[in-house]
């Protein structure tokens, strides 16, 4: 394990939750799966968009204290080459915020995707200090999105790796 990987095993939350029928089914898609370093497990949210009551999705990890961040890598769920364009369209337009509170708007916008579709193995520099990393995406009714953006977003993050150092 990389000593600069600050998010491994940390506490995470997500909204909306995946609608599930049993506790086992719920655990299969819980927020913590995105920081367990098991590439076969992913978190998943209910869909957000035009045919949903939800308009945005949010996943957040608590790094346990203010950290000096330099890089973020996200592995989105892949179902193979035949569905890659669909998956990239589901994640398109996402934003990453780094903050010292659980409110993303109190923090710094590290990254905003668009208008091209993101790769399923995403990597970006973010040289800032913060405690909470928030992944945020939305689909607003009656808004025109770039070509390829899915109108319904189902977020599936398999791993979120935040690299940085402990603050002294």
pLDDT tens for the chain, 168 residues long, are 578 999 999 999 998 877 777 877 777 889 999 999 999 999 998 888 877 777 889 999 999 999 999 999 999 999 999 999 999 999 999 999 999 999 999 999 999 998 999 999 999 999 999 999 999 999 988 888 899 999 888 899 999 999 999 876
Q: What is the pLDDT of residue 141?
A: 80
User: Rounded to a whole number, what is the distance in angstroms from the first to the last CA of the chain?
Assistant: 22
Q: What is the pLDDT of residue 47?
A: 82
The DSSP code sequence of 11-26 is EEEEESPPP-SSHHHH
Q: Domain 11-15+24-166 in CATH: superfamily? A: Galactose-binding domain-like (2.60.120.260)
The DSSP code sequence of 54-111 is --EEEEEEEEEEEEEEEEEEEEE----GGGHHHHHHHHTT-EEEEESSS-GGGSEEEE
Give yes or no for a cis peptide into 16 (omega within 30° of 0). Answer: yes
Buried b (16+ CB within 10 A) or exposed e, 44-81: bbbbbbeebeeeebbbbbebeeebebeebebbbbeeee
Which candidate, 125, 129, 138, places its Cα nearest to that of 108?
A: 129
Q: What is the pLDDT of residue 24?
A: 78
Q: Is the pTM of this model over 0.85?
A: yes
Q: What is the pLDDT of residue 123?
A: 97
Helix/strand/coil for 158 = strand
Q: What is the pLDDT of residue 168?
A: 63
Residue ranges of domains in the chain = 11-15+24-166
Q: What is the pLDDT of residue 113?
A: 95
């Amino acid at each position: 394990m990389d000593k600069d990987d600050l998010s491994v095993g940390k506490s995470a939350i997500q909204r909306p939750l995946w609608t599930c029928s049993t506790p086992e089914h719920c655990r299969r898609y819980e927020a913590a799966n995105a920081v367990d370093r098991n590439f076969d497990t992913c978190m998943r949210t209910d869909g957000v968009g035009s045919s949903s009551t939800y308009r945005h999705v949010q996943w957040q990890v608590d790094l346990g204290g203010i950290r000096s961040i330099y890089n973020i890598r996200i592995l989105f769920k892949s179902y193979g080459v035949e569905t890659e364009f669909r998956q990239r369209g589901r994640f398109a337009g996402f934003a990453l915020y780094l903050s010292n509170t659980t409110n993303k708007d109190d923090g710094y916008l590290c990254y905003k995707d668009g208008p091209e579709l993101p790769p399923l193995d995403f990597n970006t520099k973010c040289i800032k200090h913060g405690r909470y990393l928030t992944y945020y995406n939305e689909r607003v009714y009656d808004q025109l999105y770039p070509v390829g953006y899915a109108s319904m977003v189902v977020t599936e993050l398999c791993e979120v790796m935040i690299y940085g150092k402990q603050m002294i």
